Chain A
Amino acid sequence: MAEQATAMVETHDLRRTFKSRTGAVEAVRGVDLRVEAGEIFGFLGPNGAGKTTTLRMLATLISPTAGEARVAGHDLLREPGKVREQIGYVAQGGGTDPAMTGRGELVIQGRLFGMSRTVAEKRAVEVLDSLELTDAADRTTGTYSGGMRRRLDIGIGMIHRPRLLFLDEPTTGLDPQARANLWDEIRKLRETGTTVFLTTHYLEEADALCDRLAIIDHGKIVARGTSDELKSQVAGDVVTLGVGGANDAALSVVSSQPFVREASVEGDLIRLYVDNGDSAVPQLLRLLDGAGLVTQTISLNRPSLDDVFLRQTGRSLRDTAA
């Protein structure tokens, strides 16, 4: 198919401003994105960064204030109806009626996409089975656990086999087991050729699940690439030192070393970005010892996506995430 060669989502300078009583709020301030067919693309950022607003624009729910986008091969502004036929969208809060059964929601959703009742019922059985919801199919969704409801939401989003599925914070509020379970479901979608575009504020989720990422903060993309690419932007490895309060003395000893790229004090600890962590740790210990400083703790870590976020925004995502 010719469309396979082109991007599933492509945006150019997408913007959205909300008017409030206190003035205009620029929620999304010029987003350029490209999501390739068949990948799991992650939008990582703290709450209020503009992730959901961007997703809602791409899913035809709100119109952009400015900018252009092509979604699933159609122009978002000129052909929103065509876009809707090709996509699935799962909102952060889901979209099921507590008085409706899981099966009922799946069947009506299929029929809204033009399936006959028979076809929709067959497809609902498949989806229920793949999401392990068969036993709960005829119970009302109000009786479901959080993880079950989330699986059903995703089932509703994929009932019509969309080429592109938007998932807004798919695992927020789930316990670790339900989260891992849902990650498997999302990977299964990729295997069937569905492109997945999800938002998250969980570092582990972005790291474990997404083929490529964009990090967004204050309505702007601050970094993009694969998880490994992003981490390699952070110079080398991360060494965290505790020297019992003698931070300034320790900082002056280590920061002049050629293998130390960056050094900063964070609370009681010193954080260093070093070229080669494995050889840096013994060298650091020798240097501090030689200067008469007592190293109380030392740890070596590969850079995480949080280090990427920290470097780009000066804040830690762990602090900003709710």
Chain B
Amino acid sequence: MKLARDTWLIFERSMWLTLHNPVWVVFGLMMPFLYLVLFGPLLESITRTPGFPAGGNAYNVFVPGLLIQIALFGGSFVGFGLIAELRSGVVERMQVTPVSRLAMLLGRSLRDVVILLAQAIFLVVIAIPFGLHIDLPAVIVALGLLALVGLVMAPFSYALALFSKNEDAFAPMVNAIAMPLLLLSGILLPMQLAPEWLRTIAAFDPFSHGVDAIRALFNGSFGDPSVGGGVVITAVLAVLSLYAASRAFGRSVA
């Protein structure tokens, strides 16, 4: 009960601060839009390439990838905000209140998930005129899975921020981890196009399962085995990430 209340308080404050900084909100919506407009048309001709998944509609392959990309990159950069809060002393100030340490993490992470879902819905809606076909129940499940990906990335980013404590150390660390995860997850192009060795490595990228699952959902195949697998793997990762990050919050900022 206290955890829920504390989480809500931290969420409310974080959300207020985010919404009062419209630069980030607009920037966050511009990115996927630019990808869609400036990169999407390239894909239309690729769908005829041998090896491209059958029944391939370019946007039904590409939009799920973009969604994961927003989750991966948007999520991994949230730590920058926490570093600013560490520097201003806000985190330390709250650590000397009875507020739950887990709530300090959950409140911020849930704000990140809400922002992520808003961006995702915006992207899906504007992709429809480009040619994206959607099956509403499947898309809703896909968004749920996307929220889980956000719950993996945001706590992970916060833990890294608490560990590194400054942007100079944080930025390269985040890039070094997020970039290969992104490339191997088959976000931009389906991994079916990849050579055997690359596909083998990619299977170890936990997010590739999430991407596969979200793609399957966008193609309306609820029963696809990748859906269940993707959800389970991502959920396990989210729990691990939340656990590690809440421990980092519990330890002091010293």
Binding site for B on A (CB under 8 A): 56, 59-63, 81, 84-85, 87-89, 91, 93-100, 104, 108-109, 111-114, 156
Q: Tell which of B6, B89, B92, B97 touches A84, judged by Cβ atoms closer than 8 Å.
A: B97
Are A113 and B97 in contact, CB atoms less than 8 angstroms apart? yes
Interface centre among A63, A81, A97 (most CB of B within 10 A): A97
Q: Tell which of B85, B92, B97, B253 touches A112, judged by Cβ atoms closer than 8 Å.
A: B97
Note all chain A residues with C-beta closer than 8 A to B98.
Answer: 81, 84-85, 112-114
Are A62 and B9 in contact, CB atoms less than 8 angstroms apart? no
Note all chain A residues with C-beta closer than 8 A to B95.
Answer: 60-61
Q: How far is B90's CA from A99's CA once the two chains are assembled, in angstroms?
A: 12
Q: Tell which of B13, B16, B88 touches A98, judged by Cβ atoms closer than 8 Å.
A: B88
What would be 14 A-B contacts, judged by CB atoms less than 8 Å apart? A56-B254, A61-B92, A61-B95, A63-B252, A84-B98, A87-B96, A88-B96, A89-B96, A91-B89, A93-B88, A96-B90, A99-B20, A100-B16, A114-B98
| Minimum C-beta distance from B102 to chain A (A) | 13
Binding site for A on B (CB under 8 A): 6, 9, 13, 16-17, 20-21, 85, 88-90, 92-99, 252-254
Q: How far is B95's CA from A61's CA once the two chains are assembled, in angstroms?
A: 7
Note all chain B residues with C-beta closer than 8 A to A94.
Answer: 88-89
Besides A61-B254, A96-B88, A111-B9, 12 more A-B contacts (Cβ < 8 Å) are: A62-B252, A81-B98, A85-B98, A87-B96, A91-B89, A95-B92, A96-B90, A97-B17, A100-B13, A108-B13, A109-B97, A112-B9
Looking at chain B's contact residues, the main secondary structure is helix
Given known contacts A61-B92, A91-B89, A91-B93, is B99 in contact with A112 (CB within 8 Å)?
yes
Are B93 and A156 in contact, CB atoms less than 8 angstroms apart? yes
Q: Which 10 A-B pairs have CB atoms at the shortest separation, nearest pair first? A: A95-B93, A95-B89, A89-B96, A62-B254, A112-B97, A112-B99, A93-B89, A91-B89, A61-B252, A84-B98
Q: How far is B9's CA from A257's CA once the two chains are assembled, in angstroms?
A: 71
| Minimum C-beta distance from A157 to chain B (A) | 9
Note all chain A residues with C-beta closer than 8 A to B16.
Answer: 100, 104
| Minimum C-beta distance from B188 to chain A (A) | 35
Note all chain B residues with C-beta closer than 8 A to A89.
Answer: 93, 96
| Minimum C-beta distance from B86 to chain A (A) | 10
Closest to A18 in B: B254
| Minimum C-beta distance from B21 to chain A (A) | 7
Q: How far is B93's CA from A61's CA once the two chains are assembled, in angstroms?
A: 10
Interface centre among A97, A100, A111, A112 (most CB of B within 10 A): A112
Are B17 and A91 in contact, CB atoms less than 8 angstroms apart? no
Note all chain A residues with C-beta closer than 8 A to B88.
Answer: 93-98
| Minimum C-beta distance from A166 to chain B (A) | 8
Note all chain A residues with C-beta closer than 8 A to B20.
Answer: 99
Note all chain B residues with C-beta closer than 8 A to A98.
Answer: 88
Note all chain A residues with C-beta closer than 8 A to B92.
Answer: 61, 91, 95
Note all chain A residues with C-beta closer than 8 A to B254.
Answer: 56, 61-62
Are B252 and A95 in contact, CB atoms less than 8 angstroms apart? no
| Minimum C-beta distance from B13 to chain A (A) | 5
Q: How far is B92's CA from A56's CA once the two chains are assembled, in angstroms?
A: 10
Note all chain B residues with C-beta closer than 8 A to A61.
Answer: 92, 95-96, 252-254
Note all chain B residues with C-beta closer than 8 A to A88.
Answer: 96
Note all chain B residues with C-beta closer than 8 A to A63.
Answer: 252
Note all chain B residues with C-beta closer than 8 A to A104.
Answer: 13, 16
Are B90 and A95 in contact, CB atoms less than 8 angstroms apart? yes
Are B17 and A100 in contact, CB atoms less than 8 angstroms apart? yes
Note all chain A residues with C-beta closer than 8 A to B97.
Answer: 84, 109, 112-113
Closest to A166 in B: B96
Q: How far is B13's CA from A96's CA once the two chains are assembled, in angstroms?
A: 12
Note all chain A residues with C-beta closer than 8 A to B89.
Answer: 91, 93-96
Note all chain A residues with C-beta closer than 8 A to B253.
Answer: 61
| Minimum C-beta distance from B155 to chain A (A) | 21
Closest to B103 in A: A112
Interface centre among A60, A95, A109 (most CB of B within 10 A): A95
Interface centre among B90, B98, B254 (most CB of A within 10 A): B98
| Minimum C-beta distance from A197 to chain B (A) | 13
Q: How far is B13's CA from A108's CA once the two chains are assembled, in angstroms?
A: 8
Q: How far is B97's CA from A87's CA once the two chains are assembled, in angstroms?
A: 8
